[in-house]
């Protein structure tokens, strides 16, 4: 009997997924090991012994997926292979096909030479200590005995997924003109099927799935990646433009005037709509979101809850609190209102279109009516891995001694007369993350100066804040 042992490059086992550079830190044998270890966890949990597998449009994904499947089969599992598509379609498969687990081969929004794996165990996210356990199991060979009884079969779920998305479209009489940009990512084919059945007029750019991402990087949170979409919105005189990241679990949005709406601004629109039907409901947003969002949730009759950044952490908190909606600045939008509680950019788009089709105002007017604040983008700067959490704790201790008003759900978010500033440690990289928001330019300068003061007190050089202002 062959004894299984495997060691991963330590950089690939992240907090929320497994991810690395193909051919360097991530190789086909890693995919087999993930299948072997994750499959062993599924077997030990009991259940029906079925795991769904999907993959994105990266050039390396067709090579990694069969190795993953082989590892799962070696555990005696039945593998349901849904093929190429967006990550949310894989999440949907876990619910629709009632599987015991699901694994997506995806590099998300990373550069073309990256790839990785996102996992669900049952209907729950698989992250943190669970991912570290995969590393331990592989190193120690702690897997179920190899079995020859595993199997796999292909399942075409795209039609069912599109039909389920369409079921929750709730627009009115207004016919919208919409430009879509999946960024040559994994959503292209599914998106074309979706828009063919949605009301209105739809224009899809960069629909061909191409793992080289020839037109722009597939990350809609970076304004320069939306430039082509903004041009097309103007050319088509469209009502809005919608963009996805590489695996379509994050959404970007531009209005009819080419203005960008960030994740927290999208959440204001969606939260108001959900709260019309579910007054008093808890709505969750991550610690990086604007205070405007939390204030608007309360104004609309909801219970705003600030939580830790990270899509797996948000999903877990939603399940705990029964929140019908949650979102992150990064464009992850989670619906448990009529949906399943996972982040799905296509579903969020359908719900946004429903809201706008029932409105008589252009999206630019809705954005312009939001309270105006001035804020920085997310500022990321290097900090040694062994220091990043200690620095945040040092800052927290100094703030406590100074009597500052601090929210410490994830790092430190400090409330002042000018607004707020945030400092937190990244869960996935050797960096600190800062952000600030104020009601005036002068106030923002004072907040940035305070971040710099705190960093210097911990022996770090402050980042360059000179160009870090953005209206929001």
DSSP character for 247? T
Burial class (CB in 10 A: 0-12, 13-18, 19+), 339: buried
437 Ramachandran zone, left/alpha/beta (phi>0; psi -120 to 50):
beta
Q: Please, are residues 246 and 348 in contact by the beta-carbon 8 Å criterion?
A: no
Q: How many CB atoms lie within 10 A of CB 428?
A: 11
Q: What tokens were used for 337?
A: 């209102």
Q: Please, are residues 197 and 169 in contact by the beta-carbon 8 Å criterion?
A: no
Q: Could you write out the DSSP letters of every residue in 168-217?
A: T----SPPPEEEEE-TTSTTHHHHHHHHTTSSSEEEE-S-S--TT-SSS-
Q: Please, are residues 136 and 142 in contact by the beta-carbon 8 Å criterion?
A: yes
Q: What tokens were used for 199?
A: 């009301």
> Quick one: which of 441, 454, 464, 419 has its CA closest to 290?
419
Q: Which residues are catalytic?
A: 108
Q: How many CB atoms lie within 10 A of CB 461?
A: 10
Report phi then psi at 157, rounded to 5. Answer: -105, -5
Query: How many residues are listed for the chain in this entry?
Result: 472
Q: How many CB atoms lie within 10 A of CB 134?
A: 23
């Amino acid at each position: 009997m062959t004894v299984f042992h495997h060691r991963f490059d330590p950089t690939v086992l992240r907090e929320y997924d497994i991810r690395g550079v193909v051919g360097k830190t991530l190789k086909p044998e890693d995919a087999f090991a993930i299948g072997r270890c994750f499959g062993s966890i599924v077997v030990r949990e009991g259940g029906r012994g079925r795991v769904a597998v999907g993959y994105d449009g990266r050039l390396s994904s067709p090579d990694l997926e069969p190795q993953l499947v082989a590892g799962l089969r070696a555990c005696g599992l039945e593998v349901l292979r849904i093929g190429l598509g967006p990550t949310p379609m894989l999440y949907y498969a876990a619910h629709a096909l009632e599987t015991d687990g699901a694994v997506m081969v995806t590099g998300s929004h990373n550069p073309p030479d990256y790839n990785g794996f996102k996992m669900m165990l049952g209907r729950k996210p698989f992250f943190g200590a669970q991912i570290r356990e995969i590393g331990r199991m592989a190193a120690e060979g702690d897997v179920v005995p190899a079995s020859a009884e595993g199997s796999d079969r292909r399942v075409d779920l795209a039609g069912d997924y599109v039909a389920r998305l369409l079921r929750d479209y709730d627009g009115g009489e207004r016919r919208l003109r919409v430009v879509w940009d999946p960024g040559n990512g994994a959503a292209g084919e599914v998106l074309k099927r979706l828009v063919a059945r949605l009301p209105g007029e739809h224009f899809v750019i960069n629909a061909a799935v191409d793992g080289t991402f020839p037109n722009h990087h597939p990350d809609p949170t970076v304004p320069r990646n939306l430039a082509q979409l903004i041009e097309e919105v103007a050319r088509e005189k469209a009502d809005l433009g919608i963009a996805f990241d590489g695996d379509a679990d994050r959404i970007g949005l531009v209005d009819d005037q080419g203005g960008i709406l960030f994740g927290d601004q999208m959440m204001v629109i969606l939260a108001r709509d959900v709260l019309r039907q579910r007054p008093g409901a808890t709505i969750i947003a991550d610690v990086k979101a604007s205070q405007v969002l939390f204030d608007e949730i309360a104004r609309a009759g909801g219970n705003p809850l600030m939580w830790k950044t990270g899509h797996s952490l948000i999903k877990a908190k939603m399940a705990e609190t029964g929140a019908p909606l949650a979102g992150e600045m990064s464009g992850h939008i989670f619906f448990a209102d009529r949906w399943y509680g996972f982040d799905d950019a296509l579903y969020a788009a359908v719900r946004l279109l429903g809201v706008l089709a029932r409105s008589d105002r252009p999206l630019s007017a809705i954005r312009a009516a939001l309270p105006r604040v001035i804020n920085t983008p997310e500022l990321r700067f290097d900090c040694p891995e062994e220091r990043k959490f200690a620095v945040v704790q040092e800052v927290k201790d100094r703030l406590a001694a100074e009597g500052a008003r601090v929210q410490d759900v994830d790092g430190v978010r400090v409330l002042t007369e000018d607004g707020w500033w945030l400092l937190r440690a990244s869960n996935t990289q050797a960096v600190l993350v800062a952000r600030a928001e104020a009601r005036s330019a002068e106030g923002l300068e004072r907040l940035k100066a305070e971040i710099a003061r705190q960093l210097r007190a911990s022996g770090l050089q402050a980042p360059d804040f000179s160009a870090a202002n953005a209206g929001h």
